């Protein structure tokens, strides 16, 4: 099936333009815009991992290596569209307009971290695997019924395609031609399980055949391949021509989360070797050098701006008012059940030092 679903690539690992279809659209302005967004995301990612190690936020899910997949796809969306991310897609949510301090609040375990800025249709990050796919289909169907041209995009990993929610989401979207893009980031591992031990399918994209929808496979570390293919899928959905399944083949350089050790299940030398040709930022740097538009001074300036912006967000996150413990219990049901009341009283009793 790899032949039926070849990996689409526009710029290779050495920074060469190997598909000129969109050559005229890759302007210096677009290059710098996407590079800046990816650098901003990477700076946030590294800062967040450091904050976790310092005990200033909770367990964190890094994404270094997946910046092109997330930034490229999110950049193809328009205002008013819907985004359904997982816990690892904060590069995508950041690109789509989420605030830095809110993202950090999420990793600090605050409920406020799930609230998007006014006017941004970003769902809270889905921690259960694949549950957001039917939600994305439902939101897309609602927009279709309202007669709007808004679309949904749902993010998920390769492991999610083994879950029932993946198939339910795609089936409903296919039957009702929902304007939704299913965006898979296939990094070859579902936590510690390599893809060849999880499924017999050679690709994720081929799963689209079962639902008679379009399936596309792209180099997930090539931000332009991701951007233009996602844009095509979104435009198709916007015109009422149904959903698309995109498989972005990528590679994450770090752990699944800061709570696990990837050396136990993945060859780290292979990962380091892959970085030489797959790093999405390095690829764009090489391309820009070949085009004669790369300036180290410009990168240093952008890096400085990103660091200052993120440091400011950290200050805002840490200055946030203490959490109200009642929030854990008071928003589960409209009227709390006896079990919730009992749990709340037990917790408050412990806080008062009456019980242990």
Rounded CA-CA distance 289/141 in Å is 44
Catalytic, 265? Answer: yes
pLDDT given for residue 355 in this prediction: 82
Q: Band of the pLDDT at 348, cuts 50, 70, 90?
A: very high
Q: What is the DSSP letter of 17?
A: B
Q: Please identify which of the residues 256, 283, 286, 287 carries the catalytic annotation.
A: 256
Mean pLDDT along residues 241-257 = 95
Give tens-digit pLDDT for 30-71: 999 999 999 999 999 999 999 999 999 999 999 999 999 999
Q: Is the pLDDT of residue 83 over 90?
A: yes
Q: Is the pLDDT of residue 356 over 80?
A: no
List of long-range contacts for 270-278, beta carbons under 8 Å, 24+ apart: 275/65, 276/13, 277/12, 277/13, 277/14, 278/13, 278/65, 278/221, 278/250, 278/251
Give tens-digit pLDDT for 263-284: 998 888 988 898 999 999 999 9
Mean pLDDT along residues 229-249 = 98
Q: How crowded is residue 249: how many other Cβ atoms within 10 Å of its Cβ?
A: 25
Does residue 37 or residue 330 have the better pLDDT? 37
pLDDT given for residue 1 in this prediction: 79
| pTM for the model | 0.94
Catalytic, 320? Answer: no
Provide φ and ψ at 231, rounded to 5°. Answer: -60, -40
Average pLDDT score, the chain: 95
Give tens-digit pLDDT for 154-194: 999 999 999 999 999 999 999 999 999 999 999 999 999 99
Q: Is the pLDDT of residue 332 over 90?
A: no
Give tens-digit pLDDT for 285-319: 999 999 999 999 999 999 999 999 999 999 999 99
CB 203 within 8 A of CB 122: no
Question: Exposure pattern of 86-122 as b/e (b: 16+ CB <10 Å)?
Answer: bbbbbbbbbbbbbbbbbbbbbbbebeebebbeeebbb
Rounded CA-CA distance 331/111 in Å is 11
Axis crossing angle, helix 223-238 with helix 67-74, rounded to the nearest 10: 30
- In the chain, pLDDT over 70 holds for what percent of residues? 100
Q: Please identify which of the residues 150, 252, 283, 286 carries the catalytic annotation.
A: 252
């Amino acid at each position: 099936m790899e032949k039926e679903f070849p990996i689409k690539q526009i710029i290779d690992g050495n920074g060469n333009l190997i598909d000129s279809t969109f050559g005229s659209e890759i302007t210096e302005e677009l290059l710098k815009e996407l590079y800046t967004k990816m650098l901003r995301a990477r700076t946030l990612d590294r800062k967040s991992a450091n904050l976790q190690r310092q005990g200033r936020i909770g367990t964190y899910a890094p994404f270094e290596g997946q910046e092109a997949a997330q930034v490229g796809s999110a950049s193809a969306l328009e205002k008013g569209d819907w985004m359904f991310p997982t816990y690892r897609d904060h590069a995508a949510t950041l690109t789509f307009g989420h605030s830095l301090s809110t993202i950090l609040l999420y990793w600090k375990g605050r409920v406020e971290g799930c609230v998007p800025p006014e006017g941004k249709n970003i769902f809270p990050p889905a921690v259960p695997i694949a549950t957001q796919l039917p939600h994305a289909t439902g939101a897309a169907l609602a927009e279709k019924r309202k007669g709007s041209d808004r679309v949904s995009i749902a993010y998920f990993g390769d492991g999610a395609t083994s879950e029932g929610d993946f198939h339910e989401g795609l089936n409903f979207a296919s039957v009702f031609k929902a304007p939704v893009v299913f965006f898979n980031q296939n990094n070859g591992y579902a936590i510690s399980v390599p893809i060849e031990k999880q499924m017999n399918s050679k690709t994720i994209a081929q799963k689209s055949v079962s639902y008679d929808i379009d399936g596309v496979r792209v180099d997930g570390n090539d931000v332009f391949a991701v951007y233009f293919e996602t844009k095509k899928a979104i435009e198709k959905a916007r015109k009422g021509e149904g959903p698309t399944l995109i498989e972005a083949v990528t590679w994450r350089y770090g752990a699944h989360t800061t709570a696990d050790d990837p050396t136990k299940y993945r060859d780290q030398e292979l990962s380091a070797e892959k970085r030489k040709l797959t790093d999405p930022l390095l690829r764009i740097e090489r391309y820009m050098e070949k085009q004669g538009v790369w300036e180290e001074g410009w990168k240093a300036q952008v890096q400085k701006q990103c660091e200052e912006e993120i440091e400011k967000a950290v200050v805002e996150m840490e200055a946030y008012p203490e959490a109200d413990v009642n929030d854990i219990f008071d928003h589960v049901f409209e009227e709390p059940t006896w079990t919730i009341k009992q749990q709340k009283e037990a917790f408050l009793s412990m806080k008062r030092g009456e019980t242990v």
